[in-house]
């Protein structure tokens, strides 16, 4: 019959870190609490720099923005704008528009070009981004076989320009302009609409038909910025 000492030696060892002590050269694992059992990649070196979240730089400025504006294409005007902000709150722009109208009285499609130059104030001081307002000067001209025409005027607009990820631009704005237009019939005009006598053609060619009116402006622009 086994003695007490043999019975004591047969008892299982208690569960714990000592049961899984690493062999020499196999540091780590559950038997070495000072080192993690699993590794998912190299551990970055320690640094004294505090962690900082990635946020939008509030001092970032937009110096140049190029946008296209199809908001008035349905009524015959498609525009493109180049805007430059040399100073934090001040920007200048040039806008070129292609005009295409159908005049039912003449039964003609009128085409022409409009040029606008203007200034925008950006109170937030981040260049060409944020809320803006300012004046503009505009002029345009066109030509058809029967007549030539031109106009000029002044206006102003206001709006808001979003710059997404510092490069994608979305612009929403509105304004109004007062323009004066003039049309001149040509001496060699043909196929005039009913109501204009060919005998009166010379009188019409020596005179101008002038008119002043208000026109709305709408911006729904999309483009790029730097």
The answer for 75, left when phi > 0, alpha when psi is -120 to 50, beta otherwise, is: alpha
CB count within 10 Å of CB 222 equals 12
Range 158-181 burial, b when 16+ CB lie within 10 A, else e: ebebebeeeeebebebebebebeb
Predicted structure pTM score: 0.66
Q: Reduce the DSSP state of residue 215 to 3 states and report it.
A: strand
Q: Which of 12-26, 99-113, 114-128, 136-150 has the highest mean pLDDT?
A: 114-128
Cβ-contact 136, 97 below 8 angstroms: no
Positive or negative, the CA dihedral 38, 41, 46, 48 is negative
Report the candidate in 189, 81, 58 with the shortest Cα–Cα distance to residue 136. 81
Least confident of 15-24, 69-78, 174-183: 15-24
Instruction: Read off the pLDDT of residues 52-88 as tens digits, 9 standing for 90 and up.
Output: 554 455 668 999 999 999 999 998 999 999 999 999 9
Q: What pLDDT is recorded for position 63?
A: 96
In the chain, DSSP assigns E strands to: 64-69, 77-87, 90-103, 108-121, 130-143, 147-164, 168-185, 208-225
Cβ-contact 128, 65 below 8 angstroms: yes
Least confident of 14-23, 108-117, 159-168: 14-23
The answer for 130, left when phi > 0, alpha when psi is -120 to 50, beta otherwise, is: left
Q: Within its chain, how far is the Cα of 58 from the centroid?
A: 18
Question: Cα–Cα distance between 75 and 89 in angstroms, integer?
Answer: 33
Q: Domain extents for the chain?
A: 64-187+198-225
DSSP state of 127: B
């Amino acid at each position: 019959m086994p003695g007490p000492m043999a019975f004591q030696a047969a008892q299982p060892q208690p569960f714990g870190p000592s049961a899984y002590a690493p062999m020499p050269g196999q540091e780590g694992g559950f038997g070495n609490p000072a080192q993690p059992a699993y590794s998912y990649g190299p551990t970055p070196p320690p640094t004294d720099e505090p962690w900082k979240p990635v946020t939008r730089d509030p001092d970032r400025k937009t110096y140049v923005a190029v946008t296209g504006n199809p908001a008035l294409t349905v009524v015959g005007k498609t525009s493109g704008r180049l805007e430059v902000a040399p100073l934090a709150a001040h920007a200048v722009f040039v806008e070129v528009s292609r005009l295409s109208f159908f005049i039912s009285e003449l039964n003609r499609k009128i085409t022409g070009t409009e040029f606008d130059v203007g200034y925008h104030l950006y109170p937030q001081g981040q260049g060409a981004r944020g809320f803006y307002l300012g004046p503009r000067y505009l002029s345009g001209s066109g030509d058809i076989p029967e007549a030539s025409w031109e106009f000029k005027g002044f206006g102003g607009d206001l709006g808001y320009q979003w710059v997404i990820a510092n490069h994608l631009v979305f612009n929403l704005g509105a304004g109004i302009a007062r323009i004066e237009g003039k049309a001149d019939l040509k001496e060699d005009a043909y196929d005039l609409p009913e109501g204009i006598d060919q005998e009166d053609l010379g009188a019409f060619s020596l005179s101008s038909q002038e008119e002043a009116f208000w026109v709305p402006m709408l911006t729904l622009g999309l483009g790029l910025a730097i």
